[in-house]
Structure 1
């Protein structure tokens, strides 16, 4: 592959959770950082295309798989590359390894939109490299469509969108939604499970001042389904799979 971005990383204390392992939310955050650095390396990250092309990149879906979350101070090698591209969107996969052990992966489905109208733009409109080559697809398939029916019995809590949740694109950062999912549990329960997979679809954007309602439903022995709404509008649907320790 000619188009890729790699980094050697150490799990910092600020990235670990109450189990002294890399937290799920922080795993998503460092994945987002890797993807952004990949974009920046090839001259089309949001800080560049916002002024040059009046556009920003938005994530449509995330598909994550966790074999193991690394410990505090553990070394990782991270690699990001493109696995699929079309006229309007592309997929990028980021993987983290310790020596030869695969730790976790994330596939992101991304498209550019106009800053003001939020209409989808072509990749060619933002300076996306025409010769971008593709790497191996280790996370097969897109995030599955979540058709779970929720009612008010599944409501867990509400959260107001504050300035610290807003990113350069002007909307709530995608990693925040992962945090809202995890925060439906308590630490006592999280100590009893290992999260293995998260699939999340971002349907609409949320903005500063919005109040979001978070719903959770156990749909089988090892899978939860989630819905995040603004009033009656669905913003995000997700599933989270786990195994008992």
Structure 2
């Protein structure tokens, strides 16, 4: 059985920051994706291996990040991962980003993933791809996935999915949906209110050339985005502000 613990240290590079001078929401989502993928690579189950051996790919189905403290531009940070839940078809990976002092947490994250058969485009049982059974550990943080919907929403924009949004799985990368939501706001609002948390649910895969519509609703300190393609809901994203 592989060890249920993984960590990697990196700098908060320029590409991971934004106009605030610290780690951006997009940068945090990218760190989570990198850490989860590198964790799976460490025991031979990353996407290239899954595709080669089982004609399947990993797909993010849910992602939540709760921000605790700012990771500064150029700061040395450590992403720590472990699996907190396994079902017949899904895995929960918990990630926390620890700041350079070795004790302060920048964010907690939880990611739900599953394996998709490339030919049938159907979810596969983990046992069918030989995924190991881990000694599941209690999560780093008690916050988990929630339900949300953009009720009484208004359409804010439409756009085409471009090649730069497509990843190795031949679909729109999970981080891009969070980017689509962020790009529907303004720098002023993000800077003034501060993002406390982001949660994204990925419902359907989208491809290059697809036209997506984004509608949003606002209640209190939350902004919820519904993303649709051809009148089918493909993703939802909620941003929670600090104020």
User: Secondary structure at 1:185's aligned position in 2?
Assistant: coil
Paired residues of 1:150 and 1:215 also in contact (CA < 8 A): no
What's the counterpart of residue 163 of structure 1? 163
Structure 2 stretches of 5 or more lacking a match?
none
Structure 1 stretches of 5 or more lacking a match?
none
Offset of residue 76 of structure 1: 1.0
What's the counterpart of residue 81 of structure 1? 82
What's the counterpart of residue 115 of structure 1? 118
Paired residues of 2:35 and 2:81 also in contact (CA < 8 A): yes
Residues 230/150 of structure 1: CA separation in 2 closer, same or farther (3 Å cut): farther
C-alpha distance after superposition, 1:174-228 (max 9, x if no partner)? 0000001111111122210111111211111110000111111102x21111100
What's the counterpart of residue 231 of structure 2? 232
> Which moved further from structure 2: 188-197 or 27-36?
188-197
Give the 5 Å matches for 1:1-245: 2-98=3-99, 99-130=102-133, 132-140=134-142, 142-151=144-153, 154-219=154-219, 221-244=220-243
**TM-score, normalised with respect to structure 1:** 0.93
User: Secondary structure at 2:124's aligned position in 1?
Assistant: coil
Offset of residue 165 of structure 1: 0.6
C-alpha distance after superposition, 1:120-175 (max 9, x if no partner)? 11111222113x12222134354212243244xx1111121111111111110000
**Count of matched residue positions in the alignment of Structure 1 and Structure 2:** 240
Paired residues of 2:151 and 2:217 also in contact (CA < 8 A): no
User: Secondary structure at 1:113's aligned position in 2?
Assistant: strand
The CA RMSD over aligned residues, in Å, is 1.4
